[in-house]
Amino acid sequence: MITKLITFIFFYSRLAAANNLYPKYHLSPDRGWMNDPNGFCFFNGVYHLFYQHNPYSSYGPGIVHWGHAVSTDFFHWKHLPVALNPDQWYDDGGVFSGSCLVDAGKMYLYYTGNVYHEGETPDHSQYQALATSDDGYNIVKYEMNPIINGSGFQPDLRDPKIWKHGDKYYMVLGNSFKGESNETLGRILLWESSDKINWEKASILLESDGRLGYMFECPDFFELDGHWVLLFSPQGVKPEGDKYKNLFQTGHIIGDFSYDTKTFTPLYDFQELDHGHDFYATQTTLDEDGSRVVIAWMDMWDQNYPEMDQGFAGQMTLARKLKLGKNGILLQKPVKDIDAARGRVLHSGVTRGGKVIKLVNNTAEILIRSSPLLNLDVFIESEGNQVQISYDHQKGTITLDRGGKDAVRRTNWRPLGKLTWRLYIDSSSIELFCGNGEVTFSSRFFPTGPVSIRLGRQSMIDNMTVRSMKQTV
Ligand code: FRU
């Protein structure tokens, strides 16, 4: 018995030590694969976050399930059993992404049932389905599923996001269609319902003219500070200078919307929401104070990151509060409950070039306040790996270079007043928030040992505070 116990402890402590890429305060699956956030909601005093999940392997989504975790502060997460399994004729090729409507004291989980047709063209079709829960934990699929069979819109019709307005319910869905020259183009459809079950197509909110690619995934549509935000993940956007360098993008169009005509009138062009390597398939919800909070999958399709060999893949970004900025920009700030994850202060004060600070547990919150007229270089280093984040005051750019293949991401940014940065490091991720959150970078990195941060020789910081972060997951 004792020998068994010792072997057990030895095995699990080795597993934990080997899991050095596993995040300390970001949500990641307890095992297996994770992609998109799903069903993000606040229900009966608790935040529920479902996600695309393969419980059996970290090497890909497989026939995808819905994983499930709960939190009261977006940092301490409890893993729950798989919420939705691919066990019906209309979802046996995967329980794809969807969202949660909290209404009349119940959870309504809308999702896409994917079905494969091997050897046929097209080789899949997608249905919209419903599952409900009275308590947030026992989840039952609706007997009469699917609720939208999508004929006329196949084969790519997915990722329903639902909200209520007055006594009506609305749903946005990602879709693709054939353009004039038979090319495939992305679009977002609006559907409406009076009873949450029977849905009619209401309008087309947005169509790609080719520049925005062939499919729009994970649409979200909400009012923010007097305008409307259409947030989505287009596939097939061609790189253009420093823009659109990831395999797929996530971004938004700010505009106005009329419930009478069901039309969306863009006021600005499409803008990427984040400038890092790993930010996709966002979903928003209202927090307990009624503020709009966004979360994204901090990863990207087809990356084969080294964590897969450690038994897990994928993680979520920090939850970020959204505000509408100027010129069609969205401002993102970590939610205030980040306090719950803050550890002890490792360094604080004026900081000169060359300074090295060893992190604790490869985690940190780094707050920087500095002159906008000086260049700044911060290196995040372990033995075999280096990430450099630089501000070039002459060019007005920020560059994140994580080394290796496809290393550099860059965007324009000029601080209003002092340069202020908030930088979050967690085992294998970096999130940078600039100024009021008008520019963010979210990128994965893969340290091979203890991480230090080092200030470039020419840099000089008026005030830099470095804290460790607690282990909350
Ligand atoms: C986005 C996405 C969704 C789909 C899901 C499948 O990353 O492709 O469009 O529902 O992932 O896992």
The whole-chain average pLDDT of the chain stands at 95
175 close to ligand 1 (CB < 6 Angstrom): no
The CA distance from 143 to 221, in Å, is 28
Backbone angles phi, psi at 40, to 5 degrees: -65, 120
Backbone angles phi, psi at 4, to 5 degrees: -60, -45
* Closest ligand 1 atom to 159 CA: 10
How large is the ipTM?
Answer: 0.99
Q: Examine the pLDDT at 330 and tell me if it is beyond 60.
A: yes
The pLDDT of residue 384: 77
299 close to ligand 1 (CB < 6 Angstrom): no
Q: Which of 11-15, 30-34, 67-71, 94-98 has the lowest mean pLDDT?
A: 11-15
* Closest ligand 1 atom to 301 CA: 7
Q: Examine the pLDDT at 450 and tell me if it is beyond 50.
A: yes
Q: How far is the CA of 450 from the centre of ligand 1 (A)?
A: 34
Task: Identify the helix (H) or strand (E) that includes residue 15.
Answer: helix 2-18
Secondary structure E strands in 104-166: 106-116, 124-133, 140-141, 157-165
Under 8 Å CB-to-CB from 268, ≥6 apart: which residues?
253, 254, 255, 327, 328
156 close to ligand 1 (CB < 6 Angstrom): no
Q: Examine the pLDDT at 17 and tell me if it is beyond 70.
A: no
The CA distance from 140 to 132, in Å, is 5
What pLDDT digit, counting tens, does each position of 134-149 carry? 999 999 999 999 999 9
Please give the share of the chain, as a percent, with pLDDT higher than 70.
Answer: 96
What pLDDT digit, counting tens, does each position of 370-384 carry? 999 999 999 999 987
Average pLDDT over residues 269-284: 98
Average pLDDT over residues 183-197: 98
Entry field: residues in the chain: 473
Nearest residue by C-alpha to atom 12 in ligand 1: 96
Q: How far is the CA of 157 from the centre of ligand 1 (A)?
A: 11
How many Cα atoms are found within 13 Å in the side-chain-facing hemisphere of 83?
A: 34
pTM value is 0.95
Name the band, by pLDDT with cuts 50, 70 and 90, for residue 362: very high
Q: Examine the pLDDT at 321 and tell me if it is beyond 90.
A: yes
The pLDDT of residue 19: 58
Q: Examine the pLDDT at 16 and tell me if it is beyond 50.
A: no
